[in-house]
Chain A
Amino acid sequence: MSNRRKSTLIWLSLSGVLLCAVVLAGALLGERAITADFTRKNLPPCPAFPFGTDWMGRDMLARTVAGLSLSIRVGALTALASAVLALALGTASAALGGWVDGAVSWTIDLVMGIPHILLIILISIACGRGLWGVTAGVALSHWPALARLVRGEVLQLREAPWLRMSRRLGVPPGRLLWNHLLPHLLPQFLTGLILQFPHAILHEAGVTFLGFGLSPEQPAIGVILSESMGYLAAGRWWLALFPGLALVGVVALFALVGERLRLLLAPASAQE
């Protein structure tokens, strides 16, 4: 079973490669994704257009890849932003204690009290919707869980003998944080980051689908699916099936990798 670790690494690199490939392909296919051609509209899946075409004759495969690429970029950006936020707030909360701790945990309760999608809608409205609205919304609503985790971890580390010793020896707190605490938090942080990623993508797609995110001109998955709603009754199932399937694939891949990493970090499961 030693290959559990190796296979996790392989999965991790594989998904990294896939991620880059989709982003690259999205950039290359960007033009095709928005090219309309009314001579080939409403084609069901066929060899030339495996994902079919829409009512404007746009290639759904190109649109899906472009949308996926957009989702991945927004997802990566928001996951990173919220993970950094979680790290900063969680560490500050545990290290400083007192009213900072109180304020952070109150804010965590507050953020968790509003259903995610509603909070993202509110933040997106505050930013005037669009790319930045949804990015800010997702980033600012996904940090609490990881922040709690980081806070617990730091509280535990604070009690570690070597850390108490260094404190007594007069190592400046800044250096202690940088040289000792952060390296210990790094695995948690990276796993948290990867686990945030699927959530971020899903929520971005959801909010965009509702009309609060990316603008209708952009071929985002949420936009594509939202547009497809008008044509489902006409039997054009391919407009919804393939883009969604692609999204699920990417999200599931990262959820899987994140879960494997999390299990590797959890000492109890190390023996399974």
Chain B
Amino acid sequence: MEPILSVDHLSVSFTRYGRGLSRTELNPIRDLSLRVEPGQVAAVVGESGSGKSLLAHAIFHILPRNARVAGDIRYDGAPLTRERAESLRGREISLIPQGVTWLDPMMKVGDQLRRGRRDPDTRTRCRQVLERYGLGPETEGLYPFQLSGGMARRVLIASAVMEGPRLIVADEPTPGLDARTAVRVLGHFRELAEEGAGVLLITHDLELALTVAGTVSVFLDGQTVDHLPAARFQSGQGLTHPYTRALWRAMPKNGMEVSGL
């Protein structure tokens, strides 16, 4: 199938000033490639703080101004330029950010979901998406600080699916959630994929990713070192890259061996 999103040799770098007169080049993403197909959850797995989130920011063109981007990002067959991203985001492509700090602390949840529109159609849709994720209409009147971790995550998912997007990028959607809630949240992603959207799941948690992902890209030191169908991880056979093997061995059911990581 034709991928809805393809990223080839993406590189993101910054110039940063240290103490004194020093200047350092940061290059958190050096060579990242992946594919996301419609109806599929594709996971990017890498360590926390390794710069994976920048992938999401690059797709949505919301990187800081001092960032330099190289490589190729294509959406639906055509290059995802800034202009194109601006016209698509919030409609065809939507982001599920990390946590509650991504909601305006001074605005009620309902107003944020509706993005300032007040027509009855939007109101209905807002109530529907909240309901879909088990949130009552009273949620609309709450401020972000009043949401629990699990509720906030569901609100963020609800906000992403308001317009029925074709591509959903979820950036670390599970930290801070207990295991049951995390599995449920990931279940929502599978649901969305089954409805036909492409889902890009960016996470540090291989085990959780494997519960929903069809393919896994392993991200290490700024590069994607492995692309595998998730099924390969069931047996542990054919994992060629040493880092991928180490990741696999570190999973609880495989003995949680951390040596070599």
Question: CB atoms of A and B under 8 A apart anywhere in the complex?
Answer: yes
Q: Number of contacting residues on A, CB 8 A?
A: 9
- Shortest beta-carbon distance from A261 to chain B in Å: 13
Chain A 1-58 interface residues, beta-carbon cutoff 8 Å to B? 1-2, 4-6
User: How many interface contacts (CB-CB < 8 Å) are there between A and B?
Assistant: 19
Query: B14–A271 contact, CB under 8 A?
Result: yes
Give the distance in Å from the alpha carbon of A4 to the alpha carbon of B23 in the complex: 11
Give the distance in Å from the alpha carbon of A264 to the alpha carbon of B21 in the complex: 10
Residues of A within 8 A of B23 (CB): 2
Query: A270–B21 contact, CB under 8 A?
Result: no
Give the distance in Å from the alpha carbon of A176 to the alpha carbon of B142 in the complex: 47
Task: Please pick, from B20, B21, B66, the residue contacting A271 in the complex, using a CB distance under 8 A.
Answer: B66
Residues of B within 8 A of A6 (CB): 21
> Chain A's interface: helix, strand, loop or mixed, by majority?
helix
Give the distance in Å from the alpha carbon of A241 to the alpha carbon of B108 in the complex: 54
Residues of A within 8 A of B17 (CB): 2, 4-5, 264, 270-271
Give the distance in Å from the alpha carbon of A6 to the alpha carbon of B22 in the complex: 11
Residues of A within 8 A of B64 (CB): 271
Give the distance in Å from the alpha carbon of A2 to the alpha carbon of B18 in the complex: 11
Residues of A within 8 A of B21 (CB): 2, 5-6
Give the distance in Å from the alpha carbon of A270 to the alpha carbon of B20 in the complex: 11
- Shortest beta-carbon distance from B63 to chain A in Å: 12
Give the distance in Å from the alpha carbon of A272 to the alpha carbon of B14 in the complex: 11
Give the distance in Å from the alpha carbon of A68 to the alpha carbon of B36 in the complex: 69
Residues of A within 8 A of B14 (CB): 271
Give the distance in Å from the alpha carbon of A2 to the alpha carbon of B16 in the complex: 9
**Closest chain A residue, CB of each to CB of B14:** A271
- Shortest beta-carbon distance from B135 to chain A in Å: 35
The 8 A CB mask of B47-69 against A (1 = contact, 0 = none) is: 00000000000000000101000
Give the distance in Å from the alpha carbon of A211 to the alpha carbon of B14 in the complex: 55
Give the distance in Å from the alpha carbon of A271 to the alpha carbon of B20 in the complex: 14
Chain A 257-272 interface residues, beta-carbon cutoff 8 Å to B? 264, 270-272
Residues of B within 8 A of A4 (CB): 17
Chain B 75-119 interface residues, beta-carbon cutoff 8 Å to A? none
Residues of A within 8 A of B66 (CB): 271-272
- Shortest beta-carbon distance from B214 to chain A in Å: 37
The 8 A CB mask of B4-43 against A (1 = contact, 0 = none) is: 0000000000111100110100000000000000000000
Interface centre among B16, B21, B64 (most CB of A within 10 A): B21
The 8 A CB mask of A236-272 against B (1 = contact, 0 = none) is: 0000000000000000000000000000100000111
Give the distance in Å from the alpha carbon of A271 to the alpha carbon of B64 in the complex: 9
Interface centre among B15, B17, B66 (most CB of A within 10 A): B17
Task: Please pick, from A5, A264, A271, the residue contacting B15 in the complex, using a CB distance under 8 A.
Answer: A271
Give the distance in Å from the alpha carbon of A4 to the alpha carbon of B64 in the complex: 19
- Shortest beta-carbon distance from B180 to chain A in Å: 34
Give the distance in Å from the alpha carbon of A270 to the alpha carbon of B15 in the complex: 10
Give the distance in Å from the alpha carbon of A136 to the alpha carbon of B16 in the complex: 43
**Closest chain B residue, CB of each to CB of A9:** B21
Residues of A within 8 A of B15 (CB): 1, 271
What are the 8 closest A-B residue pairs judged by CB atoms, nearest first? A270-B17, A271-B66, A2-B23, A5-B21, A271-B16, A6-B21, A270-B16, A271-B64
Q: Given A2-B23, A5-B21, A271-B17, 15 more contacts at CB 8 Å?
A: A1-B15, A2-B17, A2-B21, A4-B17, A5-B17, A5-B20, A6-B21, A264-B17, A270-B16, A270-B17, A271-B14, A271-B15, A271-B16, A271-B64, A272-B66
Measuring CB to CB, which residues of chain B are less than 8 angstroms from any residue of chain A? 14-17, 20-21, 23, 64, 66
A/B interface sample: 6 pairs, CB < 8 A = A2-B17, A2-B21, A5-B20, A6-B21, A271-B15, A272-B66
